[in-house]
Structure 1
C-alpha cells in the first residue's frame, strides 16, 4: 500500500466515525491528510505526481459542489471527496461515488420504511424488533448532533474509499 493510500485509509476511518457520531467532517483532519499527502508526494514511491493530485482534487470538488449549492449535501462531504481525489487520484472518484450513492439510497429506503426522517430511524426499527438494545439506540441518538439531519454521506464516501483500498477487485471488470 502506497503512503497516499495509507493516508486515505486512515482519513476515511476517522471521517466515517466522526460523521456518524456528530455529522461533522473535521477541517483539521482534512488539512492534515492533504499536508501528509503533499509531503508523501515528494517521495519517489508516492505513485502520483502533484499535478495529477491537484487536478483530481479539483475534479472531486467540481463534481459535488453543485449538490452543496443546492443544499443537498454538506460542505464537509464535498471537501472530503476532494481530499480523496487528491490522495487517490481521479480514477478512484467514480467507484467511491457509486458506492456512496448506493449506500445513501439504501439509507433513504430504510428511513422511509420506518416513516421517520431522521438518521437513527433504522436503529429504532432494529430496537423495536429486539435486534438492538434500547440503551444503544438512546446512547446513539444522544451522541449525534441534534441540529444536523440527513444522511451521513461522508461516511458513505469513506466506506467506498475503504472498499476501493482494501478490496479493489470489487471494481474490476472484464
Structure 2
C-alpha cells in the first residue's frame, strides 16, 4: 500500500469513475461532488475544474462554500478514495462537516488508505497554516473513529446532526 494524494486530473478519469461507481450512490465524503454524480468524462471534467477553482484563493466560489483542496487517494494508477481539506469552517462545516472529509471505496477499505491519506492531508493543513482541524464521523463508524484517533484526533463531543441529514456525529479535533 503506497497511498499518495493527487489533485483531480483527466489522466485518471477512468480510475475515478470506477472508484465512484463502487459507492453505488452512497455519500462520498471529500470528493467535492455529491453522491448522484454520474461517473463519466463530463462529470470528471467538471470535478477537475471545480477542484482547481476551489483551490484558487482568488477565485469566486458560492457564498455557502469555502476554499478547499480536493485530492484523490491514489495507489499506482488506481483511485482508491477521496479526501478534501477545507481551509476554514463556515456555519455548516463547524456544525457537521469539519475541515477534512474522506471516503475510501469499499474494495479498498481496511488496508490503511484512510489513515495514510489523513496524515498527508494533515501535512497539507500545516502547510496552509491551519493549526487545528475538526473532523467528523458517524457515531456508528468505528473504523473512521479509529482512523481519526490514530492521527491524533481527540473527541470533542457527540452531536445529533439530523437537522442536516446525518445521524449522531462524533466531532474530533486535531492540534497541528
Query: TM-score if structure 1 supplies the norm length?
Result: 0.27
Higher helix share: 1
When the two structures are superposed, what TM-score results if normalisation uses the length of structure 2? 0.27
